[in-house]
């Protein structure tokens, strides 16, 4: 089913839902996150290995009740100030944490994709994380008796990923760095994919990365939908924006002003991008 972004968010993302916007540095679905902010969703359980700027924005705008994550920084730049403010000062509201390592979250997404109730890893040894997260437990190997770490499967109510293209039938093709996006997509109860373009037919893909149409709930045409993250073969990561974000998000007032102007004050992602372009010019 091909839907406009606003319809897809309205239809599939409810208050209180668990939502994973995945994509590791590459293909982060910014447009979808902004639309969730515009539609003022609340009490979301946000799930993402690296919250990145998009969750900094959603958390700062009060969309989230809980965060499942494994690394919450601005890559190569520093802190996510809105995430820190939520944890350190409970602003704009308290944020419950379900904190993992990358390896643990990866195992949880894989378990979710396979519809197993838990994932197993040789991990979380010598770290204080399990002491603060009851979702990190141990399981004994039924053959060797060895104790291993276990994490509960992640099966988001909604996963949203961004991709380069889909065909009319709803098959989605992804190129480049994947992070855990594919596993998060396969683990979802509902899967929304925003894409740079929709083509009549994808070429036979052989071993390329494809999400077949019947696991995709909605395809959303959304050019530039990953900006300021990037889409391999379409546009580059705006590293300068990631650096600028540090100053924008450092204070509540400047953050709110920016969100008001650029996200709440724009009608859709095209208007958001046009506004930034104008500001640059």
Partner 1 sequence: MSACSRDEWMTVAAARQLQGRSVCFVGIGLPSAACNLARLTHAPQLVLIYESGAIGTRSDVLPLSIGDGELAETAACVVPLPEIFSYYLQAGRIDIGFLGAAQIDRHGNLNSTVIGPYATPTTRLPGAGGAPEIALHARQVLVMLRASPRSFVERLDFRTSAGYLDGHGARARSGAPGGGPRAVITDFGMLTPHPLSEELQLTALFADATVDEARAAVGWPLAVAERIDTIATPSTHELDTLHALNARTREAHARPVRIPL
Footprint on residues 40-79 left by partner 1 (CB under 8 A): 49-50, 69-73, 75-77, 79
208 near its own copies (CB under 8 A):
yes
The answer to whether 220 and 55 have CB atoms below 8 angstroms apart is no
- Which C-beta is closer to partner 1: that of 44 or that of 51? 51
Number of chain residues interacting with its own copies (CB under 8 A):
28
User: Strand pairing of 158-167 and 190-199?
Assistant: parallel
Q: How many CB atoms lie within 10 A of CB 4?
A: 14
Residue 173 CB-half CA count within 13 A: 20
Binding residues for partner 1 restricted to 152-181, rule: CB under 8 A: 171, 176-180
Q: Which among 57-65, 137-145, 205-213, 259-267 is the span making contact with partner 1, rule CB under 8 A?
A: 205-213
Q: Report the alpha-carbon distance of residue 61 to residue 73 in Å, rounded.
A: 18
Task: Tell how far CA 209 is from the center of its chain.
Answer: 19
> Which residues, 252 to 271, sit near its own copies by CB under 8 A?
none
Q: Give strand pairing partners of 103.
A: none
Query: What pairing do the DSSP bridges indicate for beta strands 78-79 and 209-211?
Result: unpaired
> How many chain residues touch partner 1 (CB under 8 A)?
85
| 67 contacts its own copies (rule: CB under 8 A) | no
Q: Using CB under 8 A, which residues numbered 247 to 266 contact partner 1?
A: none
95 touches which of partner 1, its own copies, none (CB within 5 to 8 A by kind)?
none
Asked whether position 132 contacts its own copies by CB under 8 A, the answer is no
């Amino acid at each position: 089913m091909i839907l406009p972004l606003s319809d897809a968010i309205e239809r599939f993302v409810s208050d209180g839902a668990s939502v994973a916007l995945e994509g590791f540095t590459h293909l982060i679905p910014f447009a979808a996150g902004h639309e969730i902010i515009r539609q003022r969703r609340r009490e979301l359980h946000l799930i993402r290995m690296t919250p990145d700027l998009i969750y900094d924005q959603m958390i700062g705008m009060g969309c989230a009740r809980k965060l499942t994550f494994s690394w919450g920084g601005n890559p190569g730049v520093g802190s996510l100030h809105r995430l820190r403010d939520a944890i350190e000062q409970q602003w704009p509201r308290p944020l419950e944490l379900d904190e993992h390592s990358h390896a643990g979250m990866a195992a949880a997404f894989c378990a979710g994709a396979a519809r197993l109730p838990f994932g197993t890893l040789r991990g979380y040894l010598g770290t204080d994380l399990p002491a603060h997260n009851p979702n990190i437990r141990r399981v004994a190997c039924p053959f060797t008796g060895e104790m291993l770490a276990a994490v509960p499967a992640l099966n988001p109510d909604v996963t949203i990923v961004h991709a380069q293209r889909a065909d009319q039938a709803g098959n989605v093709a992804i190129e480049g760095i994947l992070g855990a996006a594919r596993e998060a997509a396969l683990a979802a109860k509902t899967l929304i994919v925003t894409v740079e373009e929709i083509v009549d037919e994808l070429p036979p893909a052989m071993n390329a990365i494809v999400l077949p149409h019947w696991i995709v709930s909605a395809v959303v045409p959304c050019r530039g939908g990953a900006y300021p993250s990037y889409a391999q073969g379409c546009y580059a990561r705006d590293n300068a924006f990631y650096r600028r974000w540090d100053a924008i998000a450092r204070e509540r007032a400047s953050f709110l002003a920016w969100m008001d102007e650029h996200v709440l004050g724009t009608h859709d992602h095209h208007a958001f991008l046009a506004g930034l372009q104008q500001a640059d010019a």
